[in-house]
Amino acid sequence: MALAARMTDKHILVAGAGIVGISCAIWLQRAGYHVTVVDRAGPASGTSHGNAGVLAAGAVVPVTVPGLMRKAPGMLMDRDAPLFLRWSYLPKLLPFLTRYMGYATDAHVDHYAQAMSTLLLDSAAQHRALAAGTPAERFVSDEDYCFGYAKRADFDADRYGWGKRDAVGVRYEVVSGAEYAAFDPIYGKAFETVVRCKDHGRISDPGAYVKALSDHFVEQGGTLHIAAITDLQMKDGQIAALETTDGPMRADHIVFALGPWSKKIAHKLGVKVPLESERGYHIELVNPSATPRAAMMVAAGKFVITPMEGRIRAAGVVEFGGLENGPSAAPFALLKRQVAALLPNVTYDSVNEWMGHRPAPADSLPVIGANDTSGLSYSAFGHQHVGLTGGPKTGRLIADLISGAQPNIDLTPFDPSKHQAR
């Protein structure tokens, strides 16, 4: 995906200033285009601020695995399970949920794992390339990403997912809890088995990282325009402009990287992707007395404990409740209970709480590519849990496509056209 820098008179609009949008903007800028990013609130104001900070190269197994339909009702009734639903939202959710659960098959898991491995396995290197020579590079580190299991039997029960990772080349090491505790004693005897995933990485402050990348983009001549996108102007079935609160904005190409707010615009462009907000939560222990040495997925709770700059972040869980409703109390309570149990000796000054929206397509695959044969507009959204991980490579792929270069992976699984007949 090497891009030959060349100056061009072409102007490109990127809608969205999260990690995906800013990555698109930087790689397009490096390819010689004049780029404007438009966003209603500014860089990292949404999911890119609140994620777990893990470069999860091995995140190649979707939530929708075989057996989920059988397990989900019990999880919804269990106060200690990481799945939540705003019941008042269920009538609106049902059409999507039917499609979503339809992908909980072994064949789709294999399809997803193969496709996502091409997007994610080199994520740490992609972040280093994006941030190289900018103030953002200080936030990027190469680290193991760990999975902690309270009992060896819990790891054995999770063999399905590890087998799928094996099949696409994810490298990892299985160690005893005691061996891991010698490396990082903060969890004590909480885990009997720990999996250390190799070739991964961590962002020490995701929000500050994306803002530093955005500052670099502006310093290099890019434009950041704060305005809300209200609609599209269409002419002869093609996009003509973005309607914004500051008036219409036009360009030679428009890239849509609006995360969970992409559905309405995508559908207007004929990309009928079934998309929902998969709400995620985090709490942060501010100024903790001790911090973990690496990010840890707590397998039982499906949340990640990550060391951040000046705090510990616990992020994860899944809630379906739409874009409009405010946070629920139960996910915060779950995270607080579980963190207290895992880190009983850690003291801290205060706790921050945050809720954000992940863009979840029914098939869990992001939408990356031209929206039609005209090449006037492109989609770069729908990364569900791996927007931070896959953002930089997505940006390079979009820059390749607009530049006429041949991407080095098969984009068919991510092609917006697969949704046009829906």
State whether 103 and 218 are in the same domain: no
Three-class DSSP category at 186: helix
240 has pLDDT over 50 = yes
State whether 147 and 32 are in the same domain: no
State whether 180 and 303 are in the same domain: yes
288 or 301, which is more confident? 288
43 has pLDDT over 70 = yes
Last residue of a domain, which of 361, 376, 392? 361
421 pLDDT tier (thresholds 50, 70, 90): low
Nearest Cα to Cα of residue 96 among 259, 245, 263: 263
**Given this model, what pLDDT does residue 36 score?**
98
In this structure, is residue 368 part of a structural domain?
A: yes
pLDDT tens-digit profile of 327-358?
A: 999 999 999 999 999 999 999 999 999 999 99
- Alpha-carbon distance of 270 to 204, in angstroms, equals 38
pTM: 0.95
Query: DSSP labels for 210-272?
Result: HHHHHHHHHHTT-EEEE--EEEEEEETTEEEEEEETTEEE--SEEEE--GGG-HHHHHHTT--
State whether 329 and 294 are in the same domain: yes
Looking at residues 170-176, what average pLDDT do you find?
98
State whether 181 and 304 are in the same domain: yes
In this structure, is residue 102 part of a structural domain?
A: yes
- Alpha-carbon distance of 294 to 325, in angstroms, equals 33
**Given this model, what pLDDT does residue 3 score?**
46
State whether 281 and 352 are in the same domain: yes
Domain of residue 44, CATH code: 3.50.50.60
Residue ranges making up the domain that contains 371: 11-49+208-273+364-419
Q: For residue 148, what are the contacts with CB-CB under 8 A and spacing of at least 6?
A: 177, 180, 187, 190, 191, 193, 194, 296, 297, 298, 299
Nearest Cα to Cα of residue 52 among 300, 289, 307: 307
Three-class DSSP category at 165: helix
- Alpha-carbon distance of 140 to 63, in angstroms, equals 27
Last residue of a domain, which of 335, 361, 387? 361
In this structure, is residue 379 part of a structural domain?
A: yes
**Given this model, what pLDDT does residue 68 score?**
87
Looking at residues 62-69, what average pLDDT do you find?
92
Identify the H or E element spanning 27.
helix 19-30
6 pLDDT tier (thresholds 50, 70, 90): low
Mean pLDDT of the chain: 94
State whether 251 and 384 are in the same domain: yes
319 has pLDDT over 60 = yes
Looking at residues 402-421, what average pLDDT do you find?
91
**Given this model, what pLDDT does residue 1 score?**
42
Domain of residue 197, CATH code: 3.30.9.10
5 has pLDDT over 70 = no
Token pair of 314 as six digits: 């616990």
- Alpha-carbon distance of 131 to 213, in angstroms, equals 7
State whether 268 and 286 are in the same domain: no
In this structure, is residue 55 part of a structural domain?
A: no
**Given this model, what pLDDT does residue 76 score?**
80
Looking at residues 146-155, what average pLDDT do you find?
97
- In terms of phi and psi (left: phi > 0; alpha: psi -120 to 50; beta: otherwise), the region of 401 is alpha
24 has pLDDT over 90 = yes
- Alpha-carbon distance of 374 to 376, in angstroms, equals 5
State whether 89 and 170 are in the same domain: yes
In this structure, is residue 60 part of a structural domain?
A: no
Last residue of a domain, which of 311, 340, 361? 361
State whether 268 and 152 are in the same domain: no
Q: How many structural domains comprise the chain?
A: 2
| Cβ contact 137:131 at 8 Å | yes
267 φ, ψ (degrees, to nearest 5):
-65, -35
Query: DSSP labels for 319-359?
Result: EE-TTTS---HHHHHHHHHHHHHH-TT---SEEEEEEEEEE
**Given this model, what pLDDT does residue 64 score?**
95
In this structure, is residue 56 part of a structural domain?
A: no
Write 341-345 long-range contacts (CB < 8 A, 24+): 341/190, 342/187, 342/190, 342/298, 342/305, 343/186, 343/187, 343/285, 343/305, 343/312, 345/289, 345/290
7 has pLDDT over 90 = no
State whether 241 and 302 are in the same domain: no
| Cβ contact 283:336 at 8 Å | yes
Strand 377-381 relative to strand 253-256: parallel, antiparallel, unpaired? parallel
- Alpha-carbon distance of 14 to 292, in angstroms, equals 37
422 has pLDDT over 60 = no
CA terminus-to-terminus distance, the chain: 31
2 has pLDDT over 50 = no
In this structure, is residue 247 part of a structural domain?
A: yes
In this structure, is residue 112 part of a structural domain?
A: no
State whether 171 and 311 are in the same domain: yes
